[in-house]
Amino acid sequence: EAGVAQSPRYKIIEKRQSVAFWCNPISGHATLYWYQQILGQGPKLLIQFQNNGVVDDSQLPKDRFSAERLKGVDSTLKIQPAKLEDSAVYLCASSLARWDTRYEQYFGPGTRLTVT
């Protein structure tokens, strides 16, 4: 089966510009996650969707970050305006169900964002 797809793979922008990332989860996966991975650190959950509803966005900087998951499939994560500290790899993951840890989270290749 096809894995989690993300685009673009790399993005370089200047601070105060906006950027958007796209994720297509594995077909049939109800739960979608966006993580931020800063160099030298483990991934940090930004937002978690169950179908097209948000179930956890407690660590999303809502003044500049937004995310949506239209029709419970694809998702976009947007940053507007970007700051230097947003330089990181943004990972998308999906799983069949969030309440059962028997269901593995599958990760996409990530988008590496550099803010200059």
* Chain contacts with another protein (rule: CB under 8 A): 3-4, 31, 33, 40-45, 48, 55-56, 91, 93, 95, 97-105, 107-110
Q: How far is the CB of 56 from another protein (least distance, A)?
A: 6
Distance CA 20, CA 2 (A): 22
Q: How far is the CB of 3 from another protein (least distance, A)?
A: 8
**CB of 81 or CB of 112, closer to another protein:** 112
Phi/psi region, residue 79 (left: phi>0; alpha: psi -120 to 50; beta: rest), is beta
| Token reading at 115 | 């803010």
**CB of 1 or CB of 99, closer to another protein:** 99
**CB of 27 or CB of 101, closer to another protein:** 101
Of the CA atoms within 13 Å of residue 19, those in its CB half-sphere come to 25
Distance CA 75, CA 54 (A): 12
Q: Give the position of tokens 């940053």.
A: 79
**CB of 75 or CB of 95, closer to another protein:** 95
Q: How far is the CB of 76 from another protein (least distance, A)?
A: 19
